[in-house]
Structure 1
């Protein structure tokens, strides 16, 4: 049995689908089982990272865990709670979804400090482990959909900073490879990127070509981004993490491409344009 946390999210639902399609026993963990259409064949379990008893039930009989946490405010606490339950249940291995740049210093800040703490805990857990550090998700552009449909420019927090934007399905496929053959990937840290470096402006251009209408951008430097995010009600710790990560990328530190997707999957990573074509309807409102 493979437990997938974050099973209703962007990467997690792809992981569950790929596991079940491949004939693997997958247990999908979610706080609200009735709120999402998870793939048929998955063993769905309700659990909450803040409820230790629910975590103990979730890991019962589990061999391997896909560890994906997405708290409202950055904290390693959810990772630590799941790891404690996993050790008690004699889980053998864990695949942790982290992020590119984790642990790098940027000015007085540490990029992905909460991911670094969680990674350290995974390495010290006694479980076999694999770390996945993806670059910027192509699906982050879905936050632009409303503005694009309204003909408004999309916010650009990273300026001329280029990023190896990656299709979340590729992240999920690499995760499944590690989950189903832990020995082959144990002790590895994979930095996962798409095949090309893109600025936000480049993504906007490709989206415009796919949907057949202009997509403009509006530069949002760190101080302006901080003000807007705080005004939106985002928790201050999450705002700071977002601003630090965006400023780090704006300064050119995420201009990284790797061959890790090709190495694991035996094929090149998908392009941003192919992702945009699959999601065209989200930006146009029409099929």
Structure 2
């Protein structure tokens, strides 16, 4: 692969006869899985990332370097694409999200699938609840087929617990006894793939959750059972949550959004379960236990 700029297609990509699908955020939790699942189906995939060296893609995937703040690189990545999976740079500045949608339409991309978040538009969520709103509005206002995905919290978020689990420390619980429909990222990606390939999902907004509402201590209990060792959780106060986020180097505007979001969950407002995964995929959503069993080695 040519790491210096836009990479050449990997072997065999030119032999595909199907339309090109662009996946933005291709190194992310969902984007990387969307790339993998599309490639497994034999689709022609172009993966957009700021750092191609971080991508380990299947054969046949074209990897391109691009940055949302570099319009020319985005336009180049969109050229020839018939569908696109859009992952915004989440935060208070919503302009890159809206601009990406505008550029996709200008490039003639006829099917757009946007990764949003559960609770978008709900003022109770706090600042984070507004970050996807302009992008969703821009998506619905245009002429291309569109689908919005609003997943609940990812099961993979508990990978941040790996170090304390290995060292026997308690894992930080930022959300108290607030229950959430924790969703497996593989299910989110599979729904995204269905929306990219099947026009029947056009004009739909899917709220994607797991099959059961669980708390952070519940997740710790599941991990303890799967790993065969104790996993304790430590309930953090609001001030401790702030200190925890500050310690991670999170900028203040993002921290305000996360603090409001964790309070929203702690108050029980994200105790939401839907059947959207089953409706799209024809099977139930994976449980947190299933995710933990498939990722146990990450905690050892």
Normalising by structure 1, what TM-score? 0.95
> Which residue in 1 is equivalent to 2:176?
159
Output aligned runs, 1:4-43, within 5 Å: 4-43=23-62
Contact 2:123 2:129 in 1 (8 A): no
Cα drift, residue 35 of structure 1: 2.3
Distance 1:152 1:222 in 2: 20
Cα drift, residue 9 of structure 1: 1.2
Report Cα offsets for 1:123-144 as digits up to 9, x if no partner.
1233221010001100000011
1:143 matches 2:135: no
Contact 2:179 2:268 in 1 (8 A): yes
1:95 matches 2:113: yes
Output aligned runs, 1:224-243, within 5 Å: 224-243=240-259
Distance 1:92 1:190 in 2: 19
Structure 2 counterpart SS, 1:243? helix
Contact 1:159 1:250 in 2 (8 A): yes
Distance 1:128 1:221 in 2: 44
Normalising by structure 2, what TM-score? 0.91
Contact 1:14 1:172 in 2 (8 A): yes
Match of 1:58 among 73, 77, 84: 77
Distance 1:151 1:235 in 2: 29
Q: Which runs of 5+ in 2 are unaligned?
A: 1-19
Cα drift, residue 111 of structure 1: 4.5
Distance 1:226 1:206 in 2: 26
Report Cα offsets for 1:155-199 as digits up to 9, x if no partner.
111111000001000000000000001x20111000000011100
Contact 1:28 1:45 in 2 (8 A): yes
Report Cα offsets for 1:23-78 as digits up to 9, x if no partner.
1111110111122211221111111000000000000001111001234x443222
> Which residue in 2 is equivalent to 1:67?
86
Computed over aligned residues only, the root mean square deviation of the Cα atoms, in angstroms, reads 1.3
Contact 1:163 1:256 in 2 (8 A): yes
How many residues are aligned here? Answer: 281
Distance 1:131 1:202 in 2: 29
> Which residue in 1 is equivalent to 2:7?
none
Q: Which runs of 5+ in 1 are unaligned?
A: none
1:172 matches 2:192: no
Structure 2 counterpart SS, 1:143? helix
Contact 2:176 2:235 in 1 (8 A): yes
Report Cα offsets for 1:57-116 as digits up to 9, x if no partner.
000001111001234x44322212211221221111210000111111228x35421111
